[in-house]
Amino acid sequence: MTELGAEQKSTGQAVAARLWHSRWLLAAGVVAVLIAFGFAGFSAYVLVPALLLLPAAAILPVTGARHSAGNAAAIEAIGLQRLSGEYLAAAVADPLIIFDHAATIVHANAAAFAAFGGIAPGISLPLKFRAPEMQALLDSVLSGTVASDVVDYTEKLPVERAYRVSASSVGHGTDLYVLVFKDQSEARRIDRMRADFIANASHELRTPLASIAGFIETLRGPARNDPAAREQFLQIMQNQTGRMARLIDDLLSLSRLEMKPYLKPGTEVDLRQTVDSVIDSLGPLARENNVAIERDFAKGPLDVPGDRDELFQVFENLLENACKYGQSGGRVVVSIARGDDGSEPGIDVTIRDFGPGIPEEHIPRITERFYRIDVETSRTQKGTGLGLSIVKHILTRHNARLTIRSEVGKGAAFSVHLPAH
């Protein structure tokens, strides 16, 4: 009875508040009715009901809001009743396993089957996941020590995958629990790559800095009054600073490219004119290395969508490498052909040298940052170890691909396939 009275009192207060906030609306309504009564000559039988309806109109939104909230709650309850644990598990993109108080699998979604295989209702989780961290996770949740827990778990087969696994109970009194596996493999790979990159970049910068510091110390000491030694050391220092400048430029180029990896170029590039410009710019380097550059271009227009400056950088890197590392062959052939293979029509640009070639085991890793086949040869040729990484990033932005073919003793061919559209 007390609760009923409180509810009625609350409703009355709500109605009063609604009437107070609508006082100007009520006043306007009264005036409008009176004006209509005066001009139209309506009788009191019409006027009185009209005046009585105005407060009712102010109260209607309160009861309407309460009715709407009740409908929403009812709809939500009906919708949740239609859902099942199986449907909810199927909607989760990550591997998800539901198990009971005996650590027996009750249900696993499709992602769990794809990730782990051999999972079916009735299988024991401790037998499926034997890692100590998984055993401890199951024990802590099933014993009731904690309501939920998280561990890091690595699956070794068929390929190594790293997961962040969370376990928690489902509802109250259901005796059901859930495991969710969040794949962390890509994030950890990026972290390792970043750490390796920083370590390699630090090493590449530290070496010339140490060399410059040593020569400065020598010039200030024993070689202070030795003109010949001073000239030699200054030349070496200049070479080392040039090496650091090239490395920093390549690092900045790579950083800029990584900031916009999916920005697809929207302009047309004339490959014939671009490759001709690259060949002309590297003419002095080719003559210095006694290398003849030969052209073999297809006839007709050779236009592709892309960014001219970036494609220029791609072909400049590839042709410069061919002139430096394939100089023993005496010539480099640059060819442009239409690659109409049906599924991916486009244009292929191939730069082939006739030098010592690349051993097969190095080809899969040759586009990695700071990866070198021969460290001393690369440094002698003023390489930074980042050229092919820059090439790969630019081609990714252009939806293009790089193919490397090589045979030891017969040279190497780097082919760039650019889509025509």
Report residue 235 as tokens. Answer: 């030349």
Share of the chain above pLDDT 90, in %: 21
Mean pLDDT, residues 400-414 taken together: 89
Report residue 294 as tokens. Answer: 């030969």
User: What is the rounded CA–CA span in Å between residue 226 and residue 223?
Assistant: 5
Q: What is the DSSP letter of 298?
A: P
Among the residue ranges 185-189, 193-197, 328-332, 398-402, the one predicted with the least confidence is 193-197
Report residue 260 as tokens. Answer: 């916009």
**Pairing mode, if any, of strands 401-407 and 96-100?**
unpaired
Q: Find out whether 414 and 358 touch, Cβ atoms under 8 Å.
A: no
User: What is the rounded CA–CA span in Å between residue 415 and residue 314?
Assistant: 11
Residues paired with residue 309 on neighbouring β-strands, in sequence order: none
CA-closest candidate to residue 328, choices 369, 270, 271, 289: 289
* pLDDT higher than 80, residue 372: no
Give phi and psi for 369, each to the nearest 5.
Answer: -65, 135
User: What is the tens place of the pLDDT at every residue in 112-138?
Assistant: 988 888 888 899 999 999 999 999 999
Q: What is the pLDDT of residue 340?
A: 65
The residue ranges of every structural domain in the chain are: 2-82, 86-183, 188-259, 268-419
Report residue 142 as tokens. Answer: 């099933």
* pLDDT higher than 90, residue 273: yes
- Residue 75's pLDDT band (cuts 50, 70, 90): low
Mean pLDDT, residues 171-194 taken together: 84
* pLDDT higher than 50, residue 387: yes
- Residue 363's pLDDT band (cuts 50, 70, 90): confident
User: What is the tens place of the pLDDT at every residue in 203-247?
Assistant: 777 878 888 888 888 888 888 888 888 888 888 888 888 878 878
Residues paired with residue 331 on neighbouring β-strands, in sequence order: 292
CA-closest candidate to residue 384, choices 402, 366, 371, 403: 371
Among the residue ranges 40-49, 253-262, 347-356, the one predicted with the least confidence is 40-49
Among the residue ranges 51-65, 269-283, 395-409, the one predicted with the least confidence is 51-65
User: What is the rounded CA–CA span in Å between residue 283 and residue 335?
Assistant: 17
CATH number belonging to domain 268-419: 3.30.565.10
Alpha helices in 260-298 (DSSP H): 271-281, 283-288
* pLDDT higher than 60, residue 36: no
* pLDDT higher than 80, residue 55: no
Q: Find out whether 335 and 349 touch, Cβ atoms under 8 Å.
A: yes
* pLDDT higher than 80, residue 43: no
Q: Which helix (H) or strand (E) holds 391?
A: helix 387-397
Bigger pLDDT: 71 or 170? Answer: 170
- Residue 380's pLDDT band (cuts 50, 70, 90): low
The CATH topology of domain 86-183 is Beta-Lactamase (3.30.450)
Report residue 296 as tokens. Answer: 């073999």
* pLDDT higher than 70, residue 59: no
The CATH topology of domain 188-259 is Helix Hairpins (1.10.287)
- Give whole-number Cα distances, 89 to 101, 108, 168, in Å: 19, 8, 14
User: What is the rounded CA–CA span in Å between residue 119 and residue 165?
Assistant: 17
Q: What is the pLDDT of residue 72?
A: 64
Residues paired with residue 150 on neighbouring β-strands, in sequence order: 166
